[in-house]
Homo-oligomer: A and B are copies of this chain.
Amino acid sequence: MTRESDLSPQPVLLGFLMHQPRHGYDLYQEFRRELGSVWQIGLSQLYAHLRQLEEAGLISATTEPQPSRPPRKVYSLTAEGRAVFLSWLQQPTPYLRHMRIELLARLYFFDRLSLPGLSELVAAQKAVCHKQAQRYAQLAEGAGGFRRLVLEFRRGQLEAVVPWLDRCQVPWSQ
């Protein structure tokens, strides 16, 4: 059972299939090359997620036999998989601890796939950060001691995301 506060790499796999069908090992290399500095995944784990995605009907596989190698299982996005990916792409992340991972991955795909809606996501994410930061500031007002320290730490981290997001709104890829 996956909790909503846990990150899943499945949308990323869907994203890599937006271009064209790929087999597992190919996806693994793409994942490492493109997002390896942000999101780590093991090969076994990737295969497991592909199985889950297939069971969920978000991708479908065709087997390509090869001489002297295990046959390739080439995955393509289903219509539902495409929809799930595009929906994921537009959601701002509510958790600070996920921004460094999920938000960055979303921005990667906006650039990589030249999709519209980047400024909407950035605006929505800024709103989330602002709202949370203000909530923490308010709570810190009435708090003291350690609790205040905690709230101000989080406020500071959230507020640091905002100016960074501003720089994302202009096209950042040359």
Contacts and interface: CB of A to CB of B under 8 A. Distances in A.
A118 to B, nearest CB: 12
Could you tell me the dominant secondary structure of chain A's interface residues? helix
Contacts of A146: 34, 104, 107-108, 111, 173
Nearest to A164: B156
26 contacts: A37-B147, A97-B97, A99-B153, A100-B153, A100-B157, A104-B146, A104-B150, A104-B153, A108-B146, A111-B145, A111-B146, A144-B174, A145-B173, A145-B174, A148-B172, A149-B168, A149-B172, A152-B164, A152-B167, A153-B164, A156-B160, A156-B161, A156-B163, A157-B160, A157-B161, A159-B160
